[in-house]
Structure 1
Amino acid sequence: MVKIAVIGAGFMGRTHAEAYSRIELAQVAAVCDRDKALGEKFAEDFGCSFYEDFDTMAAECEFEVADICLPTFLHETFTVRAAEHGKHIFCEKPATLSVESLDRMIGAAEKAGVNLMIGQVVRFWPEYRTAKQMRDNGELGELNYAYGARLSEHPAWSEWYRRPENSGGGLFDLHLHDIDFFCWMFGEVESVFASGKKNELGCWNFVNSTLNFQSGQSASVQGVIEMTKGYPFTMELRLTGSKATYEYIMKAGANLEDVASARRDTRVYGQDGARILPLDETDAYETELRHFVACISEHRESEIIPAASARKVMCVMEALKTSLETGKQVAVDYGKRQPLV
């Protein structure tokens, strides 16, 4: 049994706890949040202990994993603290807002000999996994076009989310999902070009990106996190090859709270016409966390999202930010990770 302490009792923390409740080898042992009312309600709902202080929890409570579901600007601090306490770490995306920061997180985990996995959940989303599988096994033929989009009204979770230094804005919190998927599918990126618009606080919340991969493949990606109020959370994926086109469209409620009732449509357009694929009701968060728990139980790093892969995606994100700020095409610099001093 892998015992988990969830750090952050908000929407994502509860999403993770619900997923763990369906995983046979997992048990939520504790929750940590500075909001006492929120934390106590979480503890009551999931039958675990509540702590307001992380270090106290680490000293008093028995657990192997710290699952970090905090605001982005706190990820590095709590990842390092968890590693120092010898805890394995699952950290929600975005891992952080710079390669330098992520290097410190990875270095701390390596120094402590613990596992660090970043929750880049699209790699576990059934329709995206199907798309990659069809591309990899040649069902789509030679790929000529790749497009992804993620559109949302602005989340109303908290004020911290609106500040670029805290959340990274739509670029890091939303756009990253599709960037990550295409990096997973096509490998290392050679160069990027991005255009967009900042909001009044300096967040890049309207972004159009082009990724040019070292393999010669390219992908176009749209990300908007300030759609008109009431616009449904929307995901789109379109892959056009010499044999077939794969298309996935999902429209949910505001953000992802209403994903269970979302309108989802997956089709493959081939020479024999259109084929509608059956809906896959698998919960991506459960799949992701089930995989992570298995990695901890089997003493191995994730082969789907190893820390080095998450780092490469962060390098691409930094290049996109530079392109947005300069208006120029930018080469992706993967560099070498600096050793932890």
Structure 2
Amino acid sequence: MAIVGAGFMGQTHLAAYKTMGNARVSAVCDLNEQQGRALAQQAGCSWFSNGEEMLRQAQVDVVDICLPTFLHEEYALLAAAHKKHILCEKPVTLTLEAFDRMAAAARQAGVQFAVGQAVRFWPEYVKARELYQAGEFGAIKYARASRLSVHPQWSEWYRRPENSGGGLFDLHLHDVDYLCSLFGRVKTVYAVGQKNQLGCWNHVASSLRFENGVCAVAEGIIEMPSGFPFTMELNIVGEQRGMCYRMQAGRNLEDVSSAVRESWLYGDGEQGRQLELELYDAYTRELTHFIDHIEAGTPITAITPDEVRHVLQVILAIRQSLESGETVRL
């Protein structure tokens, strides 16, 4: 594994790889020498400031891209040119054209291309999917997914829409992706929200109508008032049962281990019961899935490039609806 980007997510991925018997971080690449050398020291590998030099000198099978969003395409294309498998953090990119170039390069190189949309691996969301697929909810009447956060303080690059896409792409995408993983392809979207002074849609509520007839709402706010705890919720209401999940953590996701998180199942005349779940690390579960498939030479199944592309289409349709005030058909 080569980790490109030694920030918070690069550190998170290194911690996951250290628990895995079939993955070893062999290189770290970051322009920031102090940050890059620190992560490389933790990994016991070399630090590089240049991706091309890293891929020429280090033993690398997979390039794990944990860089700012606007740099994803450059390094995905570089990895593909060297015939390395590609893992890329979300949001994968900000345009369909860039995504298509990345996916085409991976196909032509004969390498796997996976995007880390990690909520699909989050314990409570995995449980909700299991209940849905088992028919426990009955016909779905309504679903709502919500994600609320103060604005990240990582770097100035994040604040500009052309760099990160703002809360719409970086935060709201998680819940849109999860709802698509449950209910399939989106037919229409209608969204309301507020854009900040830099042009980022950081307050968004989206109504999604799926091709299978299910209706759902996703809410994403990345400019909550100072001191607000990172909060996410999932509510699925069926004709037989409903599930409600809520988590409150510290600032952003740096302190998930001490978060308050509860999942409840209601219906069938019951008072409601709290679900007891194994609270494993979602990032480790996600990367284990990716690496196991790469090692076995089998396609990554948890999230495919086609699914990633559709979610990006939905996000772009939401932006169109926010700007036009109209319902957008995909």
Which structure 2 residues correspond to residues 132-147 of structure 1 after superposition, within 5 A? 132-147=129-144
How far does the alpha carbon of each residue in 1:221-259 deviate from its partner, in whole angstroms, 9 at most, with x for none?
Answer: 110000001100000000011111101100001110011
1:284 aligns with 2:247: no
Q: Distance in 2 between matches of 1:34 and 1:254?
A: 26
C-alpha distance in 2 between matches for 1:14 and 1:48: 14
Given residue 307 of structure 2, which amino acid in structure 1 is its aligned partner? S
* Structure 1 position 64 matched with structure 2 position 94: no
Distance 2:288 2:277 in 1: 21
Give the aligned partner of residue 299 of structure 2: 301
1:127 maps to 2:149: no
Q: Decide which of 1, 9, 20 is 1:23's aligned counterpart.
A: 20
Identity %: 50
TM-score by length of 1: 0.96
In structure 2, the partner of 1:47 is 44
CA distance in 2, matches of 1:152, 1:84: 37
- CA deviations 1:73-93 (Å, max 9, x no partner) are 000111001100111000000
Q: Corresponding residue for 1:213?
A: 210
Aligned to 1:81: 78
> What residue is the counterpart of 1:274 in the other structure?
272
Equivalent runs, 1:160-199 vs 2, <5 Å: 160-199=157-196
TM-score normalized by the length of structure 2:
0.99
Q: Is the 8 A contact 1:64 1:87 kept in 2?
A: yes
Residue 109 of structure 1: aligned partner? 106
1:327 to 299, 302, 325: 325
Give the Cα separation in 2 of the matches to 1:116 and 1:261.
33
What per-residue deviation string (whole Å, max 9, x for no partner) do you get for residues 254-307 of structure 1?
110011111000110122111101142210000000000011111122111011
**Partner of 2:313 in structure 1?**
315
1:218-297 to 2 correspondences below 5 Å: 218-270=215-267, 271-297=269-295
Q: Distance in 2 between matches of 1:31 and 1:314?
A: 28
Q: How many residues align?
A: 329
SS in 2 for 1:294: helix
User: Is there any run of 5+ residues in structure 2 with no aligned partner, and where?
Assistant: none
**Letter matched to residue 143 of structure 2:** A
Q: How far apart, in 2, do the equivalents of 1:224 and 1:170 lie?
A: 7
Structure 1, unmatched stretches of 5+, are 333-341
How large is the RMSD of aligned CA atoms in angstroms?
Answer: 0.7
**Are 2:191 and 2:325, in contact at CA under 8 Å, matched by a contact in 1?**
yes
Matching residue's letter, 1:23: M
Q: Is the 8 A contact 1:264 1:279 kept in 2?
A: no
